[in-house]
Structure formats: structure tokens, C-alpha cells
């Protein structure tokens, strides 16, 4: 089970006790925000993309959308979201519980600059009813295969209009 893998990974980092599990779904930004009682922008949304035949994760603030032009400029390819099956097989987490923890070694994790405006954010913890509160520094330290910070989202004003 994916959340158990995340829990084991977090134990080694001294963070396992911070994982929250809910009686309700937290599979979308809106549902996670409601379950946590926070603004949806603070949900750290993990999106899986296919890049050069491998999966990568880009973690953004919950109120952001990836800008295809910025993505292509950064990664050299058009953004192609992973299908449910690709996420399950390549990342090891099902959509709704995709998170930057307990990942296979070939899945790079990028954190988007949109997260930096918050003191803490809430990524999922491997299931569609879990989350963990972390600072951006903790997220960077705890993310499996952290590959760097990127700026691939639409400007906030533009994202809010869409």
C-alpha cells in the first residue's frame, strides 16, 4: 500500500507522526483543502508527466496551472500528463494520492516556485485521504529524488482567471 511506503520513508526522516489520514477523500485540491480546513492554494499538488520516456513529478501550489510554454522551455518537451495506469505503474501512487515521497529511483521530483509563498504546504502522503504539513525546506529535503526548483506555472493573476 502506497501510504505505508510513505509512512516508512517518513519514519527514517522523523516525520511519520505528522502524516494525517482523513475519514473523507482528499483526492483533489478542493477536497484536501476542505479536509484540512485550509486555503486550497496551500495544497501541494503533485502532477506526473512523461518526459523522455520516464515519469517526473512537478509539485505546485494548489491554485496553479502548469504553463505549457514554460514547461517546454524548461524541459525541452511538450507537457504530457501521466495516465492513471502510468502513474500507478511508474510512480507507485494512484492519482489522488500521488506525492513526492517513496518513489522509484528514476522518478525525478521538481518543486515549483509557486510553493515558496507559503510558510507550510500540504502534499498528499500516498493515498486519496492523507496529507502531511511541511515547510518548503522540509519538502525539498524529504522529496524522493529531488531534482530542483522550477518555474513552470502561469502567473497567479492569469491562473486565477482560468
Ranges of each domain in the chain: 2-161
As a three-state string, the secondary structure of 73-84 is HHHCCCCCECCH
Can you tell me whether residue 131 is helix, strand or coil? Answer: strand
Q: Is the pTM of this model over 0.75?
A: yes
Which superfamily does 2-161 belong to?
Answer: YbaK/aminoacyl-tRNA synthetase-associated domain (3.90.960.10)
- For residue 60, the cross-strand partners are 45
Encode pLDDT of 23-81 as tens digits: 999 999 999 999 999 999 999 999 999 999 999 999 999 999 999 999 999 999 999 99
Q: DSSP secondary structure string, 14-73?
A: T-GGGEEE-SS---SHHHHHHHHTS-GGGEEEEEEEEETTEEEEEEEETT--B-HHHHHH
pLDDT number for residue 63? 97
pLDDT score of 155: 79
Q: Which residue has the cell 496529507?
A: 131
| pLDDT for 159 beyond 50 | no
Q: What is the pLDDT of residues 91-142, one digit of tens each?
A: 999 999 999 999 999 999 999 999 999 999 999 999 999 999 999 999 999 9
Amino acid at each position: 500500500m502506497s501510504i505505508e511506503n510513505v509512512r516508512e520513508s517518513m519514519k527514517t526522516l522523523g516525520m511519520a507522526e505528522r502524516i494525517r489520514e482523513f475519514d473523507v477523500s482528499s483526492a483533489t485540491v478542493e477536497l484536501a483543502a476542505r479536509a484540512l480546513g485550509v486555503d486550497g492554494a496551500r495544497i501541494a499538488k503533485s502532477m506526473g508527466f512523461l518526459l523522455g520516456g520516464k515519469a517526473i513529478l512537478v509539485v505546485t501550489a494548489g491554485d496553479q496551472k502548469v504553463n505549457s510554454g514554460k514547461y517546454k522551455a524548461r524541459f525541452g518537451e511538450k507537457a504530457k500528463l501521466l495516465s492513471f495506469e502510468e502513474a500507478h505503474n511508474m510512480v507507485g501512487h494512484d492519482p489522488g494520492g500521488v506525492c513526492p515521497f517513496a518513489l522509484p529511483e528514476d522518478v525525478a521530483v521538481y518543486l515549483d516556485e509557486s510553493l515558496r509563498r507559503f510558510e507550510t504546504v500540504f502534499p498528499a502522503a500516498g493515498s486519496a485521504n492523507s496529507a502531511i504539513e511541511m515547510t518548503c525546506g522540509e519538502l525539498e529535503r524529504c522529496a524522493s529524488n529531488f531534482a530542483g526548483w522550477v518555474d513552470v506555472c502561469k502567473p497567479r493573476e492569469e491562473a486565477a482567471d482560468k
